Amino acid sequence: MKENEILDQIHRLREEHARQCGYDIHRLFEEIRQGTGRLEAEGWQVVSPAPREPEAADALREEPPKLNRSPDENRLDST
């Protein structure tokens, strides 16, 4: 697989941040909230992603179609 320098850097930074927080999710998010507050205090506009349309959110929750075939027939490989 081809290496992606940007993704590698994101993974390194995320791991470093998690390590600094002792892998405590509550501490990690508190630091993120504090950082967001600092940015807003400096005049940056912090925005949240737009909410998903109800249809799109529902589509993500749908069950995949059930296949009425034996497990051998459901295999993706062509052996």
Q: What percent of the chain has pLDDT over 90?
A: 53
Of 12-26, 37-51, 59-73, which gets the smallest average pLDDT?
Answer: 59-73
Which tens digits make up the pLDDT trace of 51-62? Answer: 777 666 666 666
Which tokens is 49 given?
């992603």
What's the pLDDT score for residue 31? 94
Q: Is residue 67 packed enough to be buried (19+ CB in 10 Å), middle (13-18) or exposed (0-12)?
A: exposed
Q: Is residue 28 packed enough to be buried (19+ CB in 10 Å), middle (13-18) or exposed (0-12)?
A: middle
Q: Which amino acid is at 6?
A: I
Query: What residue spans define the domains of the chain?
Result: 5-61
Q: Decide: 17 and 11 in contact? Cβ < 8 Å.
A: no
Q: Distance between CA 69 and CA 77 in Å, rounded?
A: 15
